[in-house]
Amino acid sequence: MPGTEGLAPRWKWALGLALAFAIGLAIALTPRGSPTAPDTAANTAAAGGIGGPFTLTAPDGKPFTLKDVGGKPFAVYFGFTRCPDVCPTTLSRLARLRGKLGADGSKFAILFVSVDPGHDQPAAVGEYVKLFGTPIIGLTGSEEQLAPVKKAYGVYAAKVPQPDGDYTVDHSTAVLLMDGAGRFADLISHDEPDPSALAKLKALVG
């Protein structure tokens, strides 16, 4: 048929372009604890709920539950103390944003939950959160304790074996914002601009 000999190359080119676009979009939308960590919190929220009661372990070894937050709204971040960049950057940022709120900064709590019980003992998590110059509640728990909490809060975390026989942890990177009743209010993504993140914290305590 005349004029059809060039169609196959054009279709292949268009298909390749669409595939490249889809891959690029997927990469752009993937928050990173390491390059492959999916952030499932938004999906969990869209599916009908995120958050809920939990029992974890405080630095003093005692159980810590949602009731211990005292009815305050809170920001919760899941990571691990050996995290080389994303975790300390995120906690430092939360401390800085809290400072910008002035007196309103005391109206919400910050929780850091270690998802690496193999390395992070409760007391060590407590010492870690002291490094950020603002009150942060450091929590952890056994794998059995953490599993339902990660599921309820839409958090991804997985061990990544290292050549030396140890491991690091691939994890989602969003900060979850919860209201005073422990219900999901919003989230702050790792690469979200400070003005937007600050506005969400103002709305949380407003």
Q: Mapping DSSP to helix (H, G, I), strand (E, B) and coil, where does residue 161 land?
A: strand
pLDDT in tens, 83-118: 999 999 999 999 999 999 999 999 999 999 999 999
- Measured distance CA(134)–CA(113) in Å, rounded: 16
For the structural domain made of 41-205, what CATH number should be given?
3.40.30.10
pLDDT in tens, 148-176: 999 999 999 999 999 999 999 999 999 99
So what's the pLDDT on residue 102?
Answer: 97
> Greater confidence, 14 or 38?
38
Which candidate, 168, 170, 178, 172, places its Cα nearest to that of 200? 178
So what's the pLDDT on residue 63?
Answer: 98
Give domain limits for the chain.
Answer: 1-30, 41-205
pLDDT in tens, 19-62: 333 333 333 333 345 544 555 555 554 444 899 999 999 999 99
So what's the pLDDT on residue 156?
Answer: 95
pTM of the model: 0.79
Identity (one letter) of the amino acid at 58?
A: A
**CB-based contacts of 148, cutoff 8 Å, min separation 6:** 54
Question: Residue range 116-134: average pLDDT?
Answer: 98
Q: Mapping DSSP to helix (H, G, I), strand (E, B) and coil, where does residue 37 land?
A: coil
